[in-house]
Chains A and B, each alone.
Chain A
Amino acid sequence: GAVVSQHPSRVICKSGTSVKIECRSLDFQATTMFWYRQFPKQSLMLMATSNEGSKATYEQGVEKDKFLINHASLTLSTLTVTSAHPEDSSFYICSARPLRDSNQPQHFGDGTRLSIL
């Protein structure tokens, strides 16, 4: 089956640090990847849609200069949380859709737990 890998799975860092999270589709190509944020005991909230070779589309209220997204290849999208602060602590999850079949559902990674001290 389609596998989406996220790295790192957990990161703890000091306030003011920038953190990069990778999302890879391991056995399929994806022109579109999605980035979500999930706070404890809450649902997934879409942050942005990442498009290979073009700019990401951000949801209302999500700062594009704060959350930098790069989708440089058909198998890799990265989310960089710049100058992270404690309020950015959350569970970040990506998903990807197989390129070859538009009817295939999105496949989710296992998430990255970000803790800012």
Chain B
Amino acid sequence: QQQVKQSPQSLIVQKGGISIINCAYENTAFDYFPWYQQFPGKGPALLIAIRPDVSEKKEGRFTISFNKSAKQFSLHIMDSQPGDSATYFCAASRGAGSYQLTFGKGTKLSVIP
């Protein structure tokens, strides 16, 4: 049973545009929702994370929107750049540290000039 559903599977965005990736979760015990960026041949790197007590978190060009009632959260990348081209994974866990992360299936983002 996939507990975190991610869409789209792939995304092509023009440079300067907004990239939007969506995730939905099922387990209401989840209370930590990170997004990871992974380049080919590298491990995932934490991009931004949110807890359910806030509806939005912004760090630079990256924003997470969180809808607790709908059990959905999304990543918005503003002013997308070719260097943002990577695979993005949403994840969820009970707590930030010790608890295991459940990952979405990933979105391959390509930002074209």
- The complex places the Cα of A41 from the Cα of B103 at a distance, in Å, of 13
Question: When the two chains form the complex, which single residue of A42, A93, A105, A109 contacts B97, counting CB atoms closer than 8 Å?
Answer: A105
- The complex places the Cα of A113 from the Cα of B42 at a distance, in Å, of 10
Say which size band chain B's interface belongs to.
20 to 34
0 or 1 for each of B33-68: is its CB under 8 Å from A? (1 = yes) = 010100001111110010000000000000000000
With A43-B106, A102-B95 in contact, do A108 and B100 touch (Cβ < 8 Å)? no
From residue B112, how far is it (CB to closest CB) to chain A in Å?
20
- The complex places the Cα of A13 from the Cα of B83 at a distance, in Å, of 34
Task: Tell me if A44 is interfacial: C-beta within 8 Å of chain B.
Answer: yes
Taking CB atoms, residues of chain A closer than 8 Å to B96 are: 102-106
User: In terms of DSSP, what is the predominant structure of the interface of chain B?
Assistant: loop
From residue B49, how far is it (CB to closest CB) to chain A in Å?
6
- The complex places the Cα of A98 from the Cα of B46 at a distance, in Å, of 14
Task: Tell me if B25 is interfacial: C-beta within 8 Å of chain A.
Answer: no
Tell me whether A43 and B97 are in contact (CB under 8 A).
Answer: no
* Interfacial residues, chain B to chain A (CB-CB below 8 A): 32, 34, 36, 41-46, 49, 89, 95-98, 100-101, 103-106, 108
* Interfacial residues, chain A to chain B (CB-CB below 8 A): 4, 6, 32, 34, 41-46, 49, 93, 95, 97-98, 101-111, 113
